[in-house]
Structure 1
Amino acid sequence: YQVTEERTIGLSMNALRKVSRRIHLGDGMEMELNGGTMDFTLRSSIERQFQCMLLEAQEEVLPTINVEYPVFIEMDVSIFKEGVRDAAIVANSVLFEVNPDEMVISAEGDTERARIRIFKDSESVKKFVVTKSCSSKFNLGYLVSFLHSSYVSDRVHIYMGDKNLPLRIDFPVEDMRLTFYLAPMEL
């Protein structure tokens, strides 16, 4: 990528989400500031162009969240995505339970239940560090929306603690990462 100067811009997350849903594996993407718009060009065997109006940006430095998480898991994003999507067909919330041997993703609706077990020695799991067993419940709507951004990486980093710590999900990309935080729900 090529950057000529550092700038702060405002862009609607909804607009960015709509464009990101149109990106396919193997597409090349070019982003260019053009006056009051951000122009996206997606290239594969065809070329697709999208233009999003810029919003007035407030330059606000967000505080860094420094939390020691007792759980760190790195896995193939496809496995995590499938587990969350499986849970989403039966309920609006999901329970993550992690012990030194596995991560369990479970959801319970009025008439259905889902339980997905991801074992630490699975070839899809790259790192599995658990200093303390933990369980927390999260809103599936937000998790599913976070996963719309998972196309940027083939891996996901999951940081978790007990019910008083937010879930942190990172999608690593070269020297950067896309990070989401989600507050837990009451168990």
Structure 2
Amino acid sequence: MAVALAHAFALFAAVSSSMHVSGGHVNPAVTFGALIGGRISVIRAVYYWVAQLLGSIVAALLLRLVTNNMRPAGFHVGVGLGEGHGLLLEIIMTFGLMYTVYATAIDPKRGNIAAIAPLAIGLIVGANILVGGPFDGACMNPALAFGPSLVGWRWHSHWIFWVGPFIGAALASLIYEYVVIPTEPPHAHQPLAAEDY
């Protein structure tokens, strides 16, 4: 419970404080989803990915410094759980996260709900951690996995925390972009304007 709440509050603060600068991009998978949906350019996505990974490395180094050189454990699949299960869990959780991001922060028809986007994003991550935390740590963020793995040099099943979130984010963005966001219906029986004649 404490871990889930800490992540929810921290992400709420991080997204809120960076929304006006980058749109709140603190997760490479979410950035990938926005790229797949055509909402950001490839160049901007690459800039965000570099910043996200560097931020994760610095954070993990600071954590190691303040804990008297303890190696970060990083993310791993729980005992009794196969890599396939962990992968599926990451896909599902990141799908939920990306769908929430699209609905509250990206959808051009989101209206006033945009005001609570950082809170909604923080809450879905907290909820996912409550559900998936005991099984694989509930990563949903490749940068979150990368820094501790690099600094602690623990790479067991690390690929899951890249492939799963990227697949989940891509699926959510494609579904939301091309199915959920409504298209403008054609205007039936509109009289022709003078310049159309």
TM-score bracket, normalised by the shorter chain, equals under 0.3
The two structures have a TM-score, normalised by structure 2, of 0.24
Tell me: higher relative CO, structure 1 or 2? Use CA pairs within 8 A at least 6 residues apart: 2
Higher strand share: 1
- Larger Rg, first or second structure (1 or 2): 2
Higher helix share: 2
